[in-house]
Amino acid sequence: MFDFINTINLDILCITQYNVVYGELMTNESFENAILELRRGVIVLAVLSKLGEEQYGYSLINGLKEQGFEIDQGTLYPLLRRLETQGLLNSKWRIEADRPRRYYSLSAEGRVLLPRLKNEWNSIVLIMKKML
Partner 1 sequence: MSNNLVDTYVLEVGRRLPKKIRADIEAEIRSILQDMLDERSQKSGKPVDEEMTLEVLKAYGSPDKVAGTYLGDRYLIGPRLYPTFILVLRIVLMVAGIGAAIGLGVALSQTIYNPYHDFQTVVTAIGNLIVTLLFVLGNVVLIFAILEWALFRADTQGNVKGLPREKAWDPRLLTRLSPPDQVKMAETILEILASFAAIVIFNFFPGIFSFGFGISGVWYIGMGNLTNVPLLSQAFFYYIPYLTLVWSLTIILDIVLLRMGHWNTAARICLIGLKVIGIMIAAFMLAGPSLLAVTTGTLTTMIGSAESAQSMLPILSQLVHLVLWLAMILGVLDVVRLTYRIITSRQLPFNIPDQNQ
Whether the Cβ atoms of residue 16 and residue 56 lie closer than 8 Å to each other? no
H or E, element range at 7: helix 2-49
Residue number, 31 or 58, with CB nearest to partner 1: 58
End-to-end CA distance of the chain: 52
Residue number, 54 or 121, with CB nearest to partner 1: 54
- Out of 15, 58, 65, 92, the residue judged to bind partner 1 by CB under 8 A: 58
Q: By CB under 8 A, tell whether 39 contacts partner 1.
A: no
Interface segment toward partner 1; rule CB under 8 A; list 11-19, 29-37, 96-104, 113-121: 96-104
Q: By CB under 8 A, tell whether 93 contacts partner 1.
A: yes
- Out of 24, 78, 119, 122, the residue judged to bind partner 1 by CB under 8 A: 78
Rounded to 5°, the CA angle 49-52-57 comes to 80
Residue number, 48 or 80, with CB nearest to partner 1: 80
Q: By CB under 8 A, tell whether 102 contacts partner 1.
A: yes
Q: By CB under 8 A, tell whether 85 contacts partner 1.
A: yes
Q: Which residues, including other chains, have CB under 8 Å from residue 88's CB and lie 6 or more apart? A: 48, 106, 107, 109, 110, 113
Distance of CA 68 to the CA centre of its chain: 10
In the bound complex, what is the minimum distance in angstroms from residue 91's beta carbon to partner 1? 9
* Number of continuous H segments (helices) and E segments (strands) in the chain: 4, 3
Binding site for partner 1 (CB under 8 A): 56-58, 73-75, 77-78, 81-82, 85, 93, 99-102
